Amino acid sequence: MASTTITVTGMTCGHCVSSVKEEIGELPGVTDVRVDLASGRVEIDSAAPLDAE
Strand 30-36 to 41-46 pairing: antiparallel
User: Per residue of the chain (53 residues), what is the pLDDT tens digit?
Assistant: 999 999 999 999 999 999 999 999 999 999 999 999 999 999 999 999 988 77
- The pLDDT score that the predictor gives to residue 12 is 96
Q: What is the pTM of this model?
A: 0.89
**DSSP secondary structure letters along 2-52:** EEEEEE-----SHHHHHHHHHHHHTSTTEEEEEEETTTTEEEEEESSPPP-
Q: How far apart are the first and last CA of the chain?
A: 19
- Give the whole-angstrom CA distance, residue 39 versus residue 48: 25
Q: What class is the 2-46 domain?
A: alpha beta
Give pLDDT, residue 46: 97
- Listed by start position, the domains of the chain span 2-46
Q: Which amino acid is at 30?
A: V
